[in-house]
Chain A
Amino acid sequence: MSDSHDSPTIPDLIKKFYFVGGVLVVGTIITFVIDIMFALPLALAAVLGLLIALVKASFVVAIFMHYKWDKKLIWITWTMVLTFFFFAGMMGLIMWAEGDVPKLDSALAISTGTNEMPTIWIILASLLGVALPASFTVFTVKMLSQPAPVEAAAPKARRTAKKKS
């Protein structure tokens, strides 16, 4: 972690690693026990199972992958935030298409007093589906076309020269 600013010492880190290992093991056991001990409806089982998975995943990303100390580094954060949006958008579109949201007695149906999905939602959803991968592409292109680091003066000059021509 040569690039982190306020990261703990290695012995401290190792203690944290063991703690996270414990969390992961306990999370798996809880998932297992819930599944065999309780007869939960599928929807509840899905939410619980994925919630536990999410908690486990957060610990892995934060501690094992040192994200807790790297998150000030905007590059990683943006990359991952955008992929997360991409994933959320993809899931959202599927749930919209398949789950028949308006037919459930959802907050939407109650607040609008109708059982039909407003057209604007559908348009927004499709825009989201296009905008997310597009934004990721733009971001990647922008990142890759960054000028070389400041310390080397000569390559910078060459680059500006290229732009002008």
Chain B
Amino acid sequence: MNTNKVIQVEGLTKVFGDFTAVNAITFHVKKGEIFGFLGANGAGKTTAMKMLIGISNPTSGKANVAGYNVFTHAENIKKNIGYMSQKFALYDDLTVKENITFFGGIYGLSRKRIKEKSEVLIKELGLEKVENKLVGSLPLGWKQKLSFSVSLLHNPKIVFLDEPTGGVDPITRRQFWELIYKAANQGTTVFVTTHYMDEAEYCDRVSIMVNGRIEALDTPKKLKEQFKAENMNDVFLKLARE
């Protein structure tokens, strides 16, 4: 297996009853890449992602994540990935520090390590003044940035982001993407689903899912050439209309 490919998927399929949510998708993601996983609502993005992070069993196909098989070694995958769901998910009734300590704890970080990490993280995000405030009292944009940083606490090889920027203003989105770039520069592979097409432009490569299939996969630049489109939005519309 090519160690440079941290995610390798071949013919991955998920069937619910007589509905095929994910239909034999094949792709790979390279180490350190920002991989955009696009698609309309209901195209099967989230289902595909859930199979990769080990909380949904594939019906058929092959998938390797961080060097482990999703069928047989889901537990090992979990130690090597970070995940941020579309419902931003920290505990509102815990303080910033308590949230960091808790999530560090469930990933098995030592107390000393958690302490170091949380100091760095709080400083980086500029949360010093609110570190002992309940997360519920923070603005959404801050929560999302914190949530992203928490998903990176244990230095995962890959971080999965499920529509991380839903519902925030463009400036916060921009700041959020700076965090993503930073993580990618440090060698973390970023797998991100989104339906903001402008965000797709920020990705190294994107795949577009339509009705459970991957209909296009390349760099944003090449996709625009291929579909003779001005921007990713047009690419997406052309694909969806077909």
A and B: interacting chains? no
| Chain A interface (Cβ < 8 Å from any Cβ of B) | none
